[in-house]
Amino acid sequence: MKIYADNAATTKMSRAAIEAMIPCLEEDYGNPSSLYSLGQRAKEILERARAGVAAVMSADPGEIVFTSGGSEADNQAILSAAEAGRKAGKAHIVSTAFEHHAVLHTLKKLEREGFAVTLLDVHEDGLVRPEELEAAIRADTCLVTVMYANNEIGTIQPIGEIGAICKRRGVLFHTDAVQAVGHLPIDVRSENIDLLSASAHKFHGPKGVGFLYARRGVRLASLIEGGAQERGKRAGTENVAAAVGMAAALKESAARMKENAARMSALRDRLIAGLSEIPHSALNGNAVKRLPGNVSFCFEGIEGESLLLLLDDRGISASSGSACTSGSLDPSHVLLAIGRVHDVAHGSLRLTIGEDTTEEEVDYMIRNVKEVVERLRGFSPVWRDLVNGKGRFIL
C-alpha cells in the first residue's frame, strides 16, 4: 500500500487546478502588461483569479497581491509592518515561539536591525492565550503576528479574539494562514485580520505561488524592485497560469470544505485513538482545536528519523517535525515550545491526512506505526534503560 500522509508539507495538485492551468500555458500566454489583445486577455484571466481568491476570504480583489508562496508573503507582511512601525517610532513586535521559520527568521533579522520581539508562550496545548497576548502589547508595538494553524502540531489559534484585541489596541495583525486557507473558513473582515499569508501548494494548487492579503489602507513595501506589476507591490511578470491554478484549487477546496473537514476529522480521531494505544506516547497539541488532517505524536525511546525510514519501507510518506528541520539534529522548535524535552521531541511523528485518505489507509497506518515503534524500541539502548528503571519515563 502507498499512503501519502504528509499533506502539511505539500499536497497533490487537484485535477481542477491542472485543467484550469493548461489553457493559460497553451493559448493565453501573453504578458498581462502588454497592450495588445493577447496580453489584455492574460490580464483579464489574472484579475479573475484574483477576484476568486479574494471572494473565498471575504476580501476585495484590490487587497490581494500574488507572491511566490507563503514564505514570500510572510516576509513581505512582516517587513512592511516593520517599515511602517519604524517610521512611526514603533519598533516592537509580538509573535509566538512556534511560528514557521519564514516568520521567525524574518523577526530575527529585524532584531538585528534594532527591533524588540516578544515571543509568546504557546503552552502545553499549543494555544496562545489572548490575555497574555494583550498584556504583551506595548505603546511601541507595531505588529502582532500569530499563525492561524500550526504546521507541525495542527493547533488552531483563537484568531478572531486576537484580531479583536489588535483592532482595539490599534496594532496591525498579521496571520500566517498557510495551513488554514482552503481547510478552515476564514473571514478577514469579521476576524479583523490586516495581513494574511497563503500558499497554493498547501491546498492542492501549484508550488511557487501564493498570496498576501493586505487590508485596504495597510501599506505594503515591495521586496522585489522592478516593474509596476501587482500595483507596484511585487515586481516581475506575473505567473498567470499558477495564479489561475491557485484560484481553481481554492474554489474547489472552499466548496468542499465542510464535508472534507467532517470526514477528515473523523479519520484523524480514529488515527489518534489507534496511536494512543502505543505505551509511552502522547499526542502533541490540543485534541479538538486542531486541523482536520493533523496527527502529531511523540513516542518515547525512539528516533523520529528511523521511524520515518521504516515507515517509508512500508509505503507510508510521513514527517517528523517540519520539512525544514528534519535532517538536522536539532529537535523541532515547535515541540520544544510546547514543553517537550529534547529526548521526547526527537521521537516525533507527524501524519497529515488528505481529502482522499481512506479508513483502510488509516488502519494500515495504525498497524504499521505500532509495529515499527515496537521494533525500534527493541533496538534502542535508551528504551532498554527506561524499561530497566535506569531512566525515568516522561510520557
CA distances from 102 to 9, 173, 253, 290 (A): 14, 16, 24, 21
Catalytic residue, candidates 142, 166, 298, 324: 324
Count of alpha carbons within 13 Å of 327, Cβ hemisphere only? Answer: 4
Q: Please tell me whether residue 69 binds ligand PLP under the rule CB under 6 A.
A: yes
User: Among 13-21, 25-33, 48-56, 175-183, which window interacts with ligand PLP (CB under 6 A)?
Assistant: 175-183
**Residue 154 is a binding residue for ligand PLP (CB under 6 A):** no
CB of 369 to ligand PLP, least distance (A): 23
Of the pair 115, 148, the CB lying nearest ligand PLP is at 148
- The amino acid present at 87, given as its one-letter code, is K
Distance CA 107, CA 228 (A): 27
Q: Does 145 help bind ligand PLP (rule: CB under 6 A)?
A: no
Q: Which residue has the cell 499526542?
A: 283
**Is 324 annotated in the active site?**
yes
Q: Which three cell numbers stand for residue 319?
A: 514527517
Q: Segment near ligand PLP (CB under 6 A), from 69-77, 290-298, 312-320, 339-347?
A: 69-77
Q: Which residues of 148-179 are buried (b: 16+ CB within 10 A; e: fewer)?
A: bbbbbbbbbbbbebbbbbbeeeebbbbbbbbb
178 binds ligand PLP (CB under 6 A): yes
Give min distance, CB of 61 to ligand PLP, in A.
Answer: 21
Q: Which helix (H) or strand (E) holds 112?
A: helix 101-112
Contact between 140 and 161 under an 8 Å Cβ cutoff? The reply is no
102 binds ligand PLP (CB under 6 A): yes
Nearer to ligand PLP by C-beta: 218 or 323? 323
Single residue of 11, 71, 192, 281 touching ligand PLP by CB under 6 A: 71
Q: How far is CA 341 from CA 57, 160, 305, 313, 352, in A?
A: 38, 31, 17, 28, 23
Total residues in contact with ligand PLP, by rule CB under 6 A: 14
Indicate the residue among 210 and 285 with the shorter CB distance to ligand PLP.
210
Among residues 90, 92, 100, 377, which is the contact residue for ligand PLP, using CB under 6 A?
100
Would you tell me the crossing angle of helices 37-57 and 240-255 to the nearest 10 degrees? 30
Catalytic residue list: 324
Residues near ligand PLP, by CB under 6 A: 69-71, 74, 100, 102, 147, 151, 176, 178-179, 199, 202, 210
